[in-house]
Homo-oligomer: A and B are copies of this chain.
Amino acid sequence: MDDHAACSRSRAPAFAARRGLLSRGDRMRVLVIGAAGMIGRKLVHRLASDGALGHEPILSMLLADVVPASEVTNPGSVGIETAVADLAQPGVVRELLAGRPDVIFDLAAVVSGEAETDFQKGYRVNLDATRCLLDAVRAVGGGYRPRLVFSSSIAVFGPPFAEVIDDQQASTPATSYGTQKAIVELLLSDYTRRGFLDGVAIRLPTICVRPGMPNLAATGFFSNIIREPLDGRAAVLPVSVDARHWFASPRSAVRFLVHAATLESELIGPRRSLTMPGVSATVAMQIESLRRAAGDGAVALIRHEPDEAIARMVDGWPRAFDALRAHELGFRAESDFDEIVRVHIEDELGGVIKFS
């Protein structure tokens, strides 16, 4: 029996890869899975704009997602291909690897709220599809050993934990989403140890301020209460202002991914999962940052509507980390929540806010 059964059934792929673009050369080939997502889009934009990953020029990027990735407006010298493909469908991932990407970013996921309400979908996408990817990389063989950067999450940690969580903390997730992330972390370490690939899992803080529409992530309100007022709209706060959580901006998330892609493998060592740095802030601190950026009028748009269920859930979330290993490896986040708000205003609002 070849591998994990879900991956071994052959089936026509959902797209046709144009392989010419991905022919071998001196420059890097990059595969971004989940390229149409919020972080994926920003990562692709940055890579195209840099034209390089670290010191290595990028030859081409293959952007894969279940929906079409948005067009890259300024690809420079980077050849860009897109593939609309459901990785949970057998056979698809083999096609994505046809060009033997040197670096793979795996950002595709069903978010926390949805993985909790749709048990099977969460496991299918967050676990099975990712395992198919790992097995497909392994199946290539012949010394192929790409860097694979996996976007994990602080959701791998569940209570009880210390007020400040260190790098020794056990992964005892309190959600199906966190469980799926923790399992992939284990697989990634084992596959790396066995020499099948060169994996790094980065545990992202809650990304704040998320641009665009609210999604099904349970952490969404932390972004809503900043993004909506900055745009002149009301937002609901379902928890107490004392609730504390761990944040980094989308810009930091992209920086983490790029840094993880270029780190020396030996520096990482056998533990391939790294808790990313971030900012520990209470909702009250968030609100004061909003006030400093946009004044009382913006803050007045936040309506406090306590929701016991959400409050209980947030109570079970990590509040702060001592991300020492990541820090030693050169990962950097914002230094306070003011900076997170500033990054949002710069990157999403062109520096312009409705209240000031």
Contacts and interface: CB of A to CB of B under 8 A. Distances in A.
A352 to B, nearest CB: 44
B6 A194 contact: no
B270 A174 contact: yes
A124 interface: yes
Contacts of A128: 4-5
Interface string A1-31: 1111110010000000000000000000000
B168 A186 contact: no
A278 interface: no
A158 B9 CA distance: 34
A277 to B, nearest CB: 19
Contacts of A187: 179, 183
Contact of A173 (B88, B158, B186): B186
A119 B4 CA distance: 11
A155 B76 CA distance: 49
B174 A193 contact: yes
A190 B119 CA distance: 10
Copies in the complex: 2
Interface in A128-174: 128, 158, 168-174
A106 B299 CA distance: 55
Contacts of A182: 186
A305 B3 CA distance: 37
A183 B189 CA distance: 12
A74 interface: no
A158 B4 CA distance: 25
Contact of A179 (B123, B170, B190, B271): B190
Given A6-B6, A170-B171, A124 B186 contact: no
A312 to B, nearest CB: 13
Contacts of A194: 119, 176
Contacts of A172: 189, 270-271
A190 B171 contact: no
A168 B171 contact: no
Contacts of A120: 1-3
Contacts of A190: 173, 176, 179
5 contacts: A1-B88, A172-B271, A176-B194, A179-B187, A183-B186
- 9 closest pairs, A vs B, by CB? A5-B6, A179-B190, A170-B170, A183-B183, A179-B186, A5-B5, A182-B186, A183-B186, A176-B190
